[in-house]
Amino acid sequence: MTASANDTAPETARVTTARIVCDGATDIPGGAALGHPRSWLQIDEKGFVDCGYCDRRFVLIGGPADLASGTAGGTGGDAHTG
């Protein structure tokens, strides 16, 4: 089965860079022991990537899968890198 931007993910995070890291516990205060091994993920031409451990979806702001910005399927704006 192939994922699409319309699939429902347990949690979605909008990010400004195409290369991100997920440890499953970033938003949990002192929660490093509650997460998963740190994994680096690369957002591809679809505009999003799902973490293989926790299923968190990372959507590139202004990318083709960014429905919140209103540019989905369009050219999008420049993503901030830092």
CA 63 – CA 76 distance, rounded (Å):
6
Nearest-angstrom CA–CA distance, 80 and 15: 9
In sequence order, what DSSP letters do the residues of 43-73 get, joined into one string? --TTSEEE-TTT--EEEETTSTT-GGGT-TT
Q: In a structure prediction context, what are the per-residue pLDDT tens digits for the chain, which is 82 residues long?
A: 445 555 666 889 999 999 999 988 876 666 666 788 999 999 999 999 999 999 999 999 999 999 876 655 444 334 333 3
Domain 12-69 fold: HSP40/DNAj peptide-binding domain (2.60.260)
Q: Give pTM, 2 decimals.
A: 0.69
Report the alpha-carbon distance of residue 58 to residue 66 in Å, rounded. 10
* pLDDT at site 66: 92
